[in-house]
Structure 1
Amino acid sequence: MRLSTPVRAIATGCLLFWAGLAHARTTFAEAEGGKIAYETCGAGDRTIVLLHDGILHAAAYDDVWPLLCQRFKVVRYDRRGYGATPAATAPFASVDDLAAVMKAAGVTRATLVGSSAGSGIAVDFALAHPEAVDGLVLAGPWVSGFSPSAGFIARSLKLVALIKLGDLEGAVKDPYILSPTADAERARVVALLKANPQNLSGAGRKLERAGPDAKDHLGEIRAPTLVLVGALDIGDVKTQAKAVADAVPGAQLETVPALGHFMYLEKPKAFADRVAAFVDGHPQGAASAGL
């Protein structure tokens, strides 16, 4: 059976896309006192950089990035001491690491998509390098300068205790991370952590140089900004998400129903669709043009 020209074109495009994705390989960007593992996929005139949270590494986006790579160039990387990136042995700055990855990947400007602590890095980078940021998508943001509540600290201490006991299954039962029925996703988080115990060790990350608190400078951000927060996430994150959205000029705040902190793990297509719609809705250079 012969395929029609349009069908052949679509089929060829799909094959080329998946072939390119299959050949995506880990590369290392030279950074201050070390190297950063990163991957790229996709093509196009718009770029998205994915920044992971403080527990998982870039593999947390495994189901999101192939969807985004169908239309955009996408970069993801492991921060110091996570995944394939060695722990730091000398002082470093996460903002500089992101700049190094973008340079190595041939990216001059991008939409930054950050989860939790990754959102904090995205915000810090937008303040330090506004000319390189087309937009910000902050999922369950944790930005420097905000103080955790007593309840958040108690919960964190409980999780740390469970992790030290080796009870990862117990730790990921935390009700704020994933929805109550997300058993497969919980098992996946446990598997990722067991395969990458360095993610939880904190090795070398104490050498990170802290910059100025972003909280006091959020009003200076000019990049279009979308803040996402799961309806099931912990109160501190919800409060911070609203505060960030209120402080960043023109920012949108969306509460995602029935999901927790790792919304992109549980509903990757919905997350990718939100990100793609945001990128489509804001032209490249919108921040510098004052749009």
Structure 2
Amino acid sequence: MDLSYSIYGTGEPIVLIHSGGVDSRAWGELVPLLARTHEVVTFDARGTGRSPAPQVPLNLVEDLRQLLDDLKLEQVTLVGHSIGGELATNFTLSSPDRVARLIAVAPSLTGFIFSETYRGWIQQLNSLAPDVSKMIQFSLQGPIYRTVMASGQRDIFIDMHTQYFTRVFTEWRSFEVIWPQPPAIEQLEEIAVPTLFMYGTVEWDDMRMIAEEFKRIPRIAFVEIEGADHMLPLTHPQEMAPHILSFLEAADKS
């Protein structure tokens, strides 16, 4: 396995999967809160942090499977944020025996058709390529980053964001992501494990529509964190941790 990873604590394993635009440092404030009672694994997805850049189309599901195999983790709790939540959901569907519980934090969803507002924002961002500095500036001013940009986590977020965009345009040789088929949006009701959906109130309206789709999962609970934007693992770890730990405890008893 060529992905960079770290392991903290002991106990039942939790694997944290970060969002796009950042790296595993995004979990820095949450890790110690979970590692008191669990083994916590973080890793830099391919092309981020200290992991090598993609040279061929990304197969994130297989990358995660290889990581779990190399660490000899037969079954884990997956906590995925944004595209990390999309990955966690797809992995749960493709390898249900490997996932004990699923926690989706402001996740994207394979097959979901985003709103014109969101797609318009993405088009504006992409139109600035390949001027990395302008792309970073535009992205950081995004409506879903208002809370983090006004927080004490502003500097580390900017650093991760800058490193991400710089690597994308200097090292990445492929931008394609291969997802399992059929898309996850068509299979959500097949997820049988206890599932928790967490998101903040400072979000695109699309996130609430994605939450509606996730309601098809039979054993799901929802938590909305007031004042949090899309980067809630950075800004609201103290609020997230109790919900995660109580969810895990309840799932163990069910």
- Pick from 239, 242, 260: which aligns with 2:209? 239
Q: Secondary structure at the match of 2:113?
A: coil
Residues 1-291 of structure 1 mapped to structure 2, 5 A cutoff: 29=1, 35-44=2-11, 46-161=12-127, 164=131, 166-167=133-134, 168-179=136-147, 182-198=150-166, 200-201=168-169, 203-212=172-181, 213-244=183-214, 246-283=215-252
Take 1:94 and 1:186, find their aligned partners in 2: how far apart are those partners?
28
Take 1:92 and 1:193, find their aligned partners in 2: how far apart are those partners?
20
Q: Which has the higher contact order (CA 8 A, sep 6+)?
A: 2
Take 1:152 and 1:86, find their aligned partners in 2: how far apart are those partners?
29
Q: Which consecutive unaligned segments of at least 5 residues does structure 1 have?
A: 1-28, 30-34
Contact 1:231 1:255 in 2 (8 A): yes
Contact 1:56 1:199 in 2 (8 A): no
Task: Give the fraction of aligned pairs with identical amino acids, expressed as a percent.
Answer: 24
- Structure 2 equivalent of residue 20 of structure 1: none
Amino acid at match of 2:231: F
- Structure 2 equivalent of residue 18 of structure 1: none
* Alpha-carbon shift at residue 280 of structure 1 (Å): 1.4
Q: Which consecutive unaligned segments of at least 5 residues does structure 2 have?
A: none
**CA 1:55–1:275: 2 relative to 1, 3 Å:** same
Task: Give TM-score scaled by structure 1 length.
Answer: 0.79
Take 1:142 and 1:272, find their aligned partners in 2: how far apart are those partners?
21
Contact 1:139 1:227 in 2 (8 A): yes
| Stretch deviating more after TM superposition (266-275 or 135-144) | 266-275
Aligned length in residues: 250
* Alpha-carbon shift at residue 161 of structure 1 (Å): 4.7
Take 2:149 and 2:34, find their aligned partners in 1: how far apart are those partners?
26
CA deviations 1:70-122 (Å, max 9, x no partner) are 11001111111111111222445211111111122221111100001111110
Amino acid at match of 2:199: V
- Aligned residues: CA RMSD: 2.1
Take 2:174 and 2:80, find their aligned partners in 1: how far apart are those partners?
18
Task: Give TM-score scaled by structure 2 length.
Answer: 0.90
Higher alpha-carbon Rg: 1
**CA 1:61–1:162: 2 relative to 1, 3 Å:** farther
